[in-house]
Structure 1
Amino acid sequence: MTDTKKVCDLCGLDVETPSFTLKTKEGDKAFCCEGCKGIYQLLNEDQILPDPDQD
């Protein structure tokens, strides 16, 4: 059996909930909290793809 835990794409901590994600030009990114997601968005705003669910 393999353990496929995701780690935060910003800080490297374990991702406990799937609700902090972004679609980017490099693929889907997962974050451990809203803070890491927000910082990633600020630093990489040119890489973020629009979310079709938010209109």
Structure 2
Amino acid sequence: MLKKIFNAFLDNPFLASIVISDLFLLLFHNPPFIFSIAMFAILIAYCMFLGQKLALFKI
């Protein structure tokens, strides 16, 4: 499962770098409230993109 996630990061380096820098800013920088909501929305959208692309839990 982790191998699939790491491969997805390597397949989309631009999106992965945006998400990693976004997560770093949210955790350690404490940006303004409105900006942090927008960045959190970007993180949620990327997580939904990865969930749809990887389909880790197929039945």
TM-score past 0.5 threshold: no
**Greater helix proportion:** 2
Task: Determine which structure has greater relative contact order: mean sequence separation of CA pairs < 8 Å that are 6+ residues apart, divided by chain length.
Answer: 2
Q: Which structure dedicates a bigger proportion of its chain to strand?
A: 1
TM-score with structure 2 length normalisation? 0.28
